[in-house]
Structure 1
Amino acid sequence: MIHSLCLKNFKPFESEFLEFRALNLLSGLNSTGKSSVLQALLLLRQSYQQGLLPKIGLALNGEWVHIGTAQDAFCERAKENYVGFEIVWKDNNKGIWRFNYDSKKKEADVLNLALEPTDSEVYQSSLFSKKFHYLQAERIGPRPFNDISDYQVQRLGQLGTRGEYTAHFLSLNEDKDIPNNQLSHPMAKSNDLSNQVEAWMREVSPGTRIKINSNPDMGLINLQYFYGDSNPYRATNVGFGISYTLPIIVAALASPPSTLILIENPEAHLHPKGQAKMGELLALAASCGVQVVIETHSDHVLNGIRLAVHDGKLNPKDVQLHYFQRQEKQGQAFTEVVSPHIDRNGRIDQWPEGFFDEWDKSLEALLEPAGE
């Protein structure tokens, strides 16, 4: 499990140290650097899978993330010509990477390694192994059919960065019991993945049932949805919320302890109750030893986490909040990170300007007498 991440001269960060715990929530206004934190981790994984780590360099573009050029990755306020990442894990293993930035090669899409290779043991961690899931903000919407990939699903255990292989993953693992009993939904018929997924989906869309139809000869698979005893509905007729939510639920339920899950905008296309339940589910996953990093704009997701802490389902010491805000000094904009703490009752000790306070501001404005 990652204990801390230090970013040097990477995108908006000249130097930034971030603590990590089991459940990590990144929030803030747009373009303040939240995604850059996830991208730092994805770049390391991507470079390792491309064979550039530990000895050659950093791949800026690939399967997991697309940064662009060296200039896009380099912090414009940097005083030294390198991009650096440092990760410390809970077992005190440490990975240190530095990559040269050459202003004469600013269009390059690989940064060359500047330091000797880091300790090879770090490449045994979940960041570089099969025990990893990343679901980006732009997940796959409703489709008549989804792709099958034996390589991604059977060999690597992946759902796809857009959740495009979720149906295939579910079809292969639907009869297996979920690895963490604490995630078991009390209304599920059994502890197998299929029934648990349906039970948690019903928190988002009451009465939901799922049917998987596979055609391996054509390399396609599709999902149909039932509501009670209704006729089956195509995925294209049940809305985006179901399709966007399903990969997150499957990832949370199917991941054994020490898995690392990165999720962008779990609230997308969900109503407020569904968003809060999503926060609760991810909090329960974190209580089972799964490390979860969430980028979100949703106060409902945050409140789902707070309620899980309040109800004793997650230790407050296992929650890390980071709020990213834009500041300006001497005509230069930079990102400042504020890290509020949550207590045993689910209360948060500080609410910096812009930290999920828009509802309070709107309410105050509504309480003012209307203009003539």
Structure 2
Amino acid sequence: MIEKLEIKNFKSIKSKFFPLKNLNVLVGMNGQGKSSLIQSLLLLRQSQKLGLGKLNLNGSLTNLGTSKDVLYQYSEVDKIGFSIQFSKKELFNLEFDYKLDSNVISSSNENIFPFLNENVSEALFNENFQYLNAQRTEPQSINKASYADVMESNSIGKNGEFTAHYLELRGSENISFDNLIHPSTRTYDPIGKKEIINRQLITQINAWLREISPGVSVATNQLASEVIQLEYNFQQKNLGRTNSFRPENVGFGISYSLHVITALLSAEPGGLVIIENPESHIHPRGQAELGRLIGLVAQNDVQIIIETHSDHIVNGIRISVNEKLLDKEKVILFYFKKIEEELEQYSSIINIELDSNGELSEYPKGLMDEWNNQLMKLF
């Protein structure tokens, strides 16, 4: 788990130390610097020669252009710095030199992460990692297949493009954590006098997906080596289940939430899950349920970083703290706001903690106040 992250002279972040926890929620208006924190970690992960001091600005996870695109515009030194500390590890200081128009920047320290040449236990650098960006795969009945991504890299793809194949190949696997088991998947055997729990990933995904769209179930079918069919059906009262529907005919919300729920429920001990805008295309009630699920996952040995504009996601997390489903010490919010001064502008980031009731330590202007702002215009 990443315990500490410091960023210097990277995009709009002039200098900021982030004390990361199990659940890290990035909030603030558009263009305030939230994505920069996520991108700093994606750069480290996608740089194949990071151990030799090479940082790739363009790669499989993110494309940021050249050095002039990532250096803080008003920096007094031509250096970008990251400091990162993992649990029970020393603090690693990374400083990269600016080189005009280069898409690879180098560090004077050529042995940054010596453990990268070994069996890496940190999720940021191994297969215990999921990243979903905001531009997820749209609803479609025919989906990509990739055995290497799903089985070897344990990935649903940065756009969720391999979610259907992940369910096809790994849907029968059991989820790792007891507190994620949906109540509807618990039954009691009166003869054996014992509780029966279906821990299969696909069963739990369907149960949580019904919190987004009541009665829905997802099914997959591998049509060819590189083609996976995805379908939905719905439970009908007294009539069994409906015929199957193509994802294109049931709207964006179910498919978008399917990617998010799969990324969360497939998390394993020591895992790192990064999700941008988990609320996209989802009804407010469903957003709140997603917030609660995010809180439940974070209660375990999993680290989550989410960027969100949804008060409902945040409130779902707060309620999980209030209901003692998530320890308050395991969650922190970072509120991003752009500061404009006479000679420079930069991201100011406020650390916001929660108490045991789910109350925030601070309510800076612009945080979760738009509902009241609009109501004031009506009355």
AA aligned to 1:168 is H
Report how far residue 27 of structure 1 moved.
0.6
Instruction: Verify the 8 A CA contact 2:141 2:246 in the aligned structure 1.
Output: yes
The answer for the alignment partner of 1:21 in structure 2 is: 21
The answer for the alignment partner of 1:34 in structure 2 is: 34
The answer for the alignment partner of 2:125 in structure 1 is: 128
Report how far residue 335 of structure 1 moved.
1.0
AA aligned to 1:334 is Y
Answering whether residue 349 of structure 2 is matched by residue 348 of structure 1, we say no
CA distance in 1, matches of 2:158, 2:297: 19
CA distance in 2, matches of 1:202, 1:57: 45
Answering whether residue 71 of structure 2 is matched by residue 74 of structure 1, we say yes
The answer for the alignment partner of 2:96 in structure 1 is: 99
Instruction: Verify the 8 A CA contact 1:56 1:112 in the aligned structure 2.
Output: yes
Partner of residue 202 from structure 1, selected from 210, 226, 234: 210
- Report the 3-state secondary structure (helix = DSSP H, G, I; strand = E; otherwise coil) of the residue aligned with 2:50: coil
The answer for the alignment partner of 1:141 in structure 2 is: 138
Q: Can you list the C-alpha shifts for 1:20-47, whole angstroms capped at 9, x where unaligned?
A: 1000100111111100000000000000
Partner of residue 233 from structure 2, selected from 219, 226, 239: 226
CA distance in 2, matches of 1:181, 1:94: 33
CA distance in 1, matches of 2:134, 2:90: 31
Instruction: Verify the 8 A CA contact 1:94 1:119 in the aligned structure 2.
Output: no
CA distance in 1, matches of 2:114, 2:296: 32
AA aligned to 2:272 is L
CA distance in 2, matches of 1:32, 1:275: 23
The TM-score normalised by the length of structure 1 is: 0.94
The TM-score normalised by the length of structure 2 is: 0.93
Partner of residue 109 from structure 2, selected from 106, 115, 123: 115
Answering whether residue 272 of structure 2 is matched by residue 260 of structure 1, we say yes
**Pairwise CA RMSD:** 1.2
Report how far residue 178 of structure 1 moved.
0.6
Answering whether residue 284 of structure 2 is matched by residue 287 of structure 1, we say no
Q: Can you list the C-alpha shifts for 1:75-116, whole angstroms capped at 9, x where unaligned?
A: 1111111111111122243222111103xxx22110022224
CA distance in 2, matches of 1:173, 1:41: 27
Instruction: Verify the 8 A CA contact 2:338 2:347 in the aligned structure 1.
Output: yes
The answer for the alignment partner of 2:192 in structure 1 is: none
5+ residue gaps, structure 1, are 368-372
CA distance in 1, matches of 2:332, 2:111: 30
Report how far residue 244 of structure 1 moved.
0.8
Q: State, as a whole percentage, how many aligned pairs show the same letter.
A: 39
AA aligned to 1:57 is K
Instruction: Verify the 8 A CA contact 2:50 2:113 in the aligned structure 1.
Output: no
The answer for the alignment partner of 2:195 in structure 1 is: none
CA distance in 1, matches of 2:64, 2:171: 36
Q: Which runs of 4+ in 1 moved over 4 A?
A: none
- Report the 3-state secondary structure (helix = DSSP H, G, I; strand = E; otherwise coil) of the residue aligned with 1:5: strand
AA aligned to 1:187 is S
Q: How does 1:193-342 map to 2 (within 5 A)?
A: 193-217=201-225, 219-228=226-235, 229-342=241-354
CA distance in 2, matches of 1:93, 1:214: 46
AA aligned to 2:284 is P
Instruction: Verify the 8 A CA contact 2:9 2:72 in the aligned structure 1.
Output: yes
Report how far residue 60 of structure 1 moved.
0.4
Q: Can you list the C-alpha shifts for 1:173-194, whole angstroms capped at 9, x where unaligned?
A: 1111111111000112611111
AA aligned to 1:224 is E
Instruction: Verify the 8 A CA contact 1:188 1:198 in the aligned structure 2.
Output: no
Report how far residue 339 of structure 1 moved.
1.4
- Report the 3-state secondary structure (helix = DSSP H, G, I; strand = E; otherwise coil) of the residue aligned with 2:184: coil
CA distance in 2, matches of 1:45, 1:111: 15
Q: Can you list the C-alpha shifts for 1:217-275, whole angstroms capped at 9, x where unaligned?
A: 4x100111010110100111111111111111111111111100000000000000000
CA distance in 1, matches of 2:138, 2:341: 42
Report how far residue 331 of structure 1 moved.
4.0
CA distance in 2, matches of 1:290, 1:216: 34
AA aligned to 1:304 is G
AA aligned to 1:114 is S
CA distance in 2, matches of 1:345, 1:112: 46
